[in-house]
């Protein structure tokens, strides 16, 4: 078994893939998914905080942290099945703090390595006047920077 | 003390840490750090301290009928700050699991039953799955630099088995291409199974451990069947 982070880092470090850092110009911020970060640390003894940040560093120069971050990161509100349990009003309300956090960074793009977070952030951004915010998977950003 | 290396070796993991010990809730100091940390505090009057206290008072039935355990995302902000290390997120998941299956909200139970019966949450037949992924693969092969791209299905002895989030063969097929591009550029030997490809495991959300085991078991069976040692599960 391996994590998406370990795999991407291996590809980059061994030169199997090459990335062009000049391609993506948007200011980016990074969202830690609970299950790869805080919850992985608490339940499995290791949280993936540094690895995605290292990968971001290989893709772009212009990225900033949210506050609070890493193990104190706020949940986006899309976890635990809330995207499919029908409580949509509550789910949108849940995401308010997350959207304020993103807005405060001034980023045009938020990157995350989680299908749930990706779906939630895309689903609620217009509710908070942030329809222009681009939401990308970490591996999508890597694919966008690939030198073929 | 000397073991400060990050844990990457899964054999070191202690799986008993998944289990809340009985009466965990009874050591609550009622400090309310959980309520202060919770991003969902106040939504539908949700209050994690109250939830823990209600479990302690034996008001479990009321909580099982409540909406709180389903509004909570089990993000564990609460227990991250809990001075008594009460496993509140697991408590919430246990409460979810105690609810009658026909009263699980939304489409969670239907999706899970579909997965248990057919191998995926969508009840997508195998031939439709193969058609979709091959069609998206042909689209990718039309892009410059990916001319030789082919989706590798059921490839015996591949280095990497991948699973798929069902939305990628439903409403978000474009998102299949990101990893495929990376695999192609890296020269990776990868494959996608044509059955039991589902990467989500909704038993996690409904509090159903048996269903989770079944879904995980099928992925392991695919690894064995195709003689593959590495699993990439980007979910």
Inside any domain, residue B29: yes
Inside any domain, residue B115: no
Give the integer Cα–Cα distance in Å for A124 and A117: 11
Quick one: which of A81, A41, A47 has its CA closest to B17?
A: A41
Cβ <8 Å between B75 and A44 = no
What spatial distance separates the first Cα and last Cα of chain A, rounded to whole Å?
27
Residues B163-209 pLDDT 10s: 999 999 999 999 999 999 999 999 999 999 999 999 999 999 999 99
Inside any domain, residue B6: no
Inside any domain, residue B147: yes
| Statement to judge: residues B141 and B203 lie in one domain | yes
Instruction: Provide the ipTM.
Output: 0.97
Query: A50 to chain B nearest CA, in Å?
Result: 11
Inside any domain, residue B92: yes
Q: Hey, is A103 helix, strand or coil?
A: helix
| Statement to judge: residues B83 and B142 lie in one domain | no
| Statement to judge: residues B89 and B135 lie in one domain | no
Buried b (16+ CB within 10 A) or exposed e, B134-143: eebbeebeee
* pLDDT for the residue B20: 59
Residue B92, domain extent: 20-99
Residues B24-76 pLDDT 10s: 788 899 999 999 999 999 999 999 999 999 988 888 899 999 999 999 999 99
Q: Please list, in sequence order, all residues whose beta carbon lies within 8 angstroms of the beta carbon of residue A15, skipping any fewer than 6 positions away.
A: none
Residues A14-24 pLDDT 10s: 999 999 999 99
Chain B residues in contact with A100 by the CB 8 A cut-off are none
Mean pLDDT, all residues of chain A: 97
Query: What is the domain partition of chain A in residue ranges?
Result: 4-145
Q: Where a domain ends, among B99, B133, B159?
A: B99
Number of other residues whose CB lies within 10 A of the CB of residue B125: 11
| Statement to judge: residues B88 and B141 lie in one domain | no
From B70, B75, B185, residue closest to A85, measured CB to CB? B70
A5 touches chain B (CB under 8 A): no
Mean pLDDT, all residues of chain B: 91
* pLDDT for the residue A77: 98
Cβ <8 Å between B106 and A81 = yes
Fold classified for A4-145: Rossmann fold (3.40.50)
Q: How many domains does chain B have?
A: 2
| pLDDT confidence band for B235 (50 / 70 / 90) | low
Q: Where a domain ends, among B99, B134, B150?
A: B99
* pLDDT for the residue B18: 42
A17 touches chain B (CB under 8 A): yes
Which phi-psi region, left, alpha or beta, contains residue A59 (left: φ > 0; alpha: ψ -120 to 50)? alpha
Average pLDDT along chain A, 148 residues, taken 10 residues at a time: 90 98 97 97 94 98 97 97 97 98 98 97 98 98 97
CATH number at residue B49: 1.10.1060.10
Query: B206 to chain A nearest CA, in Å?
Result: 8
């Amino acid at each position: 078994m391996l994590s998406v982070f370990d795999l991407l880092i291996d590809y980059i470090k061994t030169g199997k893939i090459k990335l062009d850092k000049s391609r993506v110009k948007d200011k980016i911020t990074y969202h830690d998914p609970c299950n790869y970060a805080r919850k992985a640390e608490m339940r499995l003894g290791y949280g993936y905080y540094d690895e995605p940040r290292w990968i971001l560093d290989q893709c772009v120069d212009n990225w900033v942290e949210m506050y609070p971050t890493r193990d104190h990161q706020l949940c986006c509100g899309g976890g635990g099945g809330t995207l499919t349990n029908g409580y949509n009003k509550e789910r949108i309300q849940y995401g308010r703090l997350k959207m304020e956090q993103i807005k405060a960074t001034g980023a045009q793009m938020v990157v995350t390595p989680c299908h749930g977070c990706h779906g939630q952030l895309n689903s609620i951004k217009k509710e908070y006047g942030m329809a222009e915010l681009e939401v990308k998977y970490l591996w999508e950003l890597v694919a966008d920077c690939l030198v073929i | 003390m000397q073991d400060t290396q990050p844990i990457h070796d899964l054999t070191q993991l202690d799986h008993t840490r998944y289990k809340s010990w009985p009466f965990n809730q009874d050591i609550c100091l009622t400090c309310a750090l959980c309520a202060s940390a919770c991003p969902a505090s106040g939504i539908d009057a949700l209050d994690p301290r109250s939830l823990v206290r209600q479990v302690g008072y034996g008001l479990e039935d009321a909580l099982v009928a409540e909406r709180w355990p389903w509004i909570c995302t089990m993000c564990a902000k609460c227990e991250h700050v809990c001075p008594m290390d009460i496993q509140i997120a697991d408590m919430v998941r246990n409460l979810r699991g105690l609810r009658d299956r026909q009263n699980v909200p939304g489409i969670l139970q239907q999706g899970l039953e579909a997965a248990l019966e057919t191998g995926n949450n969508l009840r997508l037949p195998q031939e439709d799955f193969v058609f979709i992924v091959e069609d998206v693969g042909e689209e990718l092969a039309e892009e410059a630099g990916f001319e030789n791209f082919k989706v590798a299905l059921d490839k015996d002895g591949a280095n990497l088995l991948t699973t798929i989030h069902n939305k990628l063969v439903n409403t978000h097929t474009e998102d299949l291409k990101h990893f495929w591009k990376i695999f192609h550029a890296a020269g990776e030997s990868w494959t996608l199974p044509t059955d039991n490809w589902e990467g989500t495991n909704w038993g996690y959300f409904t509090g159903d451990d048996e269903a989770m085991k079944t879904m995980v078991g099928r992925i392991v069976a695919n690894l064995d069947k195709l003689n593959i040692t590495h699993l990439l599960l980007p979910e």
